[in-house]
Structure 1
Amino acid sequence: MNEPALTDDTLLGGRVRLFQPKDGYRAAIDPVLLAAAVPARSGHTVLDVGSGTGAAGLCLAARIPGIELSGIERDPGALALAQRSAGANGVSVDWIEGDVLAPPSAVLSRQYDHVISNPPYRSADRGQRSPDPARAAAHSITDADFDAWLAFCVARVRGKGTLSLVLPAGELSRAVALIEPRLGGLTLLPLWPKQGAEARRVILQARRGGRAPSRLLPGLVLHAQDGRYTPEAEQVLRHGAPL
């Protein structure tokens, strides 16, 4: 059987090498932005939930050398590409094959300093699924499973640790209602497509034991009127600047 066609791509201005399928689900800028939001330090443990081909975790490892990175992913094909990319980047990662909704004991027995995730969000209860199986799996989830996904993420955060998520604006109220009673110190960072446009996605961050009031940050404008990235977005996407 022939292997699926792959592309050998780079992120963070060439600092991260990423192998991806040529067709089907491919990482865009969300995992790069997610990695830029994580307040990790060298020596911290990080779990990438639904890690896919590893883009978010590998970007975080490039930004902050010395983290102890793990990732859980149910698709063995995506996991194999993540392992290949980690090797190409010289990064040691504990990739775990498993379903977030029925997680293996290796994950359930641990908590982490930081948990990150770009969860599926185009609800299978309410919308059409993509005809591509990999893309459909990455983007479709029922409302009940979305809640279970977030609950799993919350439970994996250790004391004073953080949870960081990229979410569509339409899922924000559902996520806040589930997360806020269990974690504190919520911070919301809107991602504006252009100046004056509605934010379609938001980075949500919460901290275990945080007591600070919730904050809505100014956010990041991604594109100028001519369609190019803004200088601020370029600093994050190309040069590894933190959010």
Structure 2
Amino acid sequence: MVKKAYRMMSGTETMDELRTYDLRIVQERHGYRFSLDPLLLCAFASPAPGARVIDLGTGSAVIPLVLARRTAQAIFVGVELQDGMAELAERNVQLNGLADRIAILRDDVLGLRKRFPVSSFDLVLSNPPYRKRGSGKVSPKAGRDDARHESTATLADFLAAAKYLAKPTGRICFIYHPARLPELFAEAHLQKLAPMRLRLVHGTEDAEARMALVELAKGRRADLTVLPPLIVREAGLNYSPEVAEILGGDQ
């Protein structure tokens, strides 16, 4: 586990601690619950102090909350389509005293051109749904299916929104499933987004990659840098030193 159950909020919710970042996160007990992936994306992206950052599909707002603790003076927007998740995100922002730095926007990725001028953000982040609608197993738990499967917005839509929102000097960082990397790179090429960095995430050293961290840029040409793999757990199934550092005491 990357988080510690703190106490029950109600019959349907828990409050969990991320002690490393001095955060408390309210989540649905049986719905979608955040995992290690958003924490890895935060470490991979590392925005500069004072940056303007937007998270597409913020869920319970874990990414902006963690980055607000890690990054001085940065300002964040979390975009969430599901009303229930957006309400949780707003509560978590208030609970952690970060309402002056994090705004939660209830909207579809497809509607963001009406919300923001072009090139509004230094960094665009997303942990988008990685399964196409109708593929894979359907979860019986509310919210999980919408978090994992594309609904109104496809991968191409997420990339197009990220391109529109990012400054020419800005960055776009996604965490995504390796099986769809060919599609991601092909779509990025069509949208004139240059892949800058790629890092594959492996559960153990001898396991296939389970996720991929990707950085893209618009309006620039660059050679792709493929970083060393990120190994989550060592042979004894303890967290690797790098992941342990990201988690701190939240192990």
Q: What's the TM-score once normalised by structure 1's chain length?
A: 0.89
| Residue 190 (structure 1) aligned with residue 200 (structure 2) | yes
- The correspondence for 1:145, drawn from 148, 154, 175, is 154
| Residue 215 (structure 1) aligned with residue 225 (structure 2) | yes
**CA distance, structure 1, for counterparts of residue 208 and residue 95 of structure 2:** 38
Amino acid at match of 2:154: D
**CA distance, structure 2, for counterparts of residue 143 and residue 88 of structure 1:** 30
Aligned to 1:26: 33
- After TM superposition, the structure 1 = structure 2 runs for residues 59-74 of structure 1, keeping only pairs within 5 Å, are 59-74=66-81
SS in 1 for 2:110: coil
Alpha-carbon contact 2:110-2:153 (below 8 Å) kept: no
- After TM superposition, the structure 1 = structure 2 runs for residues 99-178 of structure 1, keeping only pairs within 5 Å, are 99-103=108-112, 105-107=114-116, 111-141=120-150, 145-178=154-187
SS in 2 for 1:138: helix
**CA distance, structure 1, for counterparts of residue 113 and residue 13 of structure 2:** 29
**CA distance, structure 1, for counterparts of residue 201 and residue 158 of structure 2:** 22
**CA distance, structure 1, for counterparts of residue 183 and residue 195 of structure 2:** 17
Alpha-carbon contact 1:47-1:112 (below 8 Å) kept: yes
Alpha-carbon contact 2:110-2:157 (below 8 Å) kept: yes
Once the two structures are superposed, residues 131-162 of structure 1 have per-residue CA deviations (whole angstroms, 9 ceiling, x without a partner) of 23301100111697222222212221111100
Aligned to 1:231: 241
Aligned to 2:95: 88
Q: What's the TM-score once normalised by structure 2's chain length?
A: 0.87
| Residue 50 (structure 1) aligned with residue 57 (structure 2) | yes
- After TM superposition, the structure 1 = structure 2 runs for residues 4-43 of structure 1, keeping only pairs within 5 Å, are 5-11=12-18, 13-43=20-50
Aligned sequence identity (%): 29
RMSD: 2.3
Once the two structures are superposed, residues 160-205 of structure 1 have per-residue CA deviations (whole angstroms, 9 ceiling, x without a partner) of 1000000011011111111245222521011111012111101001
The more displaced of 179-188 and 51-60 is 179-188
Seen in structure 2, the aligned counterparts of structure 1 residues 167 and 12 have a Cα distance that, compared at 3 Å, is farther
Alpha-carbon contact 1:125-1:142 (below 8 Å) kept: no
Once the two structures are superposed, residues 179-234 of structure 1 have per-residue CA deviations (whole angstroms, 9 ceiling, x without a partner) of 24522252101111101211110100112333320111002110012222111111
Amino acid at match of 1:197: A
Amino acid at match of 2:209: A
Alpha-carbon contact 1:190-1:199 (below 8 Å) kept: yes
Task: Please state how far the C-alpha of 1:239 moved relative to its aligned partner.
Answer: 7.1
Alpha-carbon contact 1:154-1:179 (below 8 Å) kept: no
The more displaced of 69-78 and 202-211 is 202-211
Aligned to 1:204: 214
**Aligned length in residues:** 239
Task: Please state how far the C-alpha of 1:129 moved relative to its aligned partner.
Answer: 2.5
The more displaced of 197-206 and 134-143 is 134-143
**Which runs of 4 or more aligned residues in structure 1 lie more than 6 Å from their structure 2 counterparts after TM superposition?**
none
The more displaced of 137-146 and 154-163 is 137-146
Seen in structure 2, the aligned counterparts of structure 1 residues 39 and 144 have a Cα distance that, compared at 3 Å, is closer
Alpha-carbon contact 2:113-2:164 (below 8 Å) kept: no
Amino acid at match of 2:165: R
Task: Please state how far the C-alpha of 1:99 moved relative to its aligned partner.
Answer: 1.1
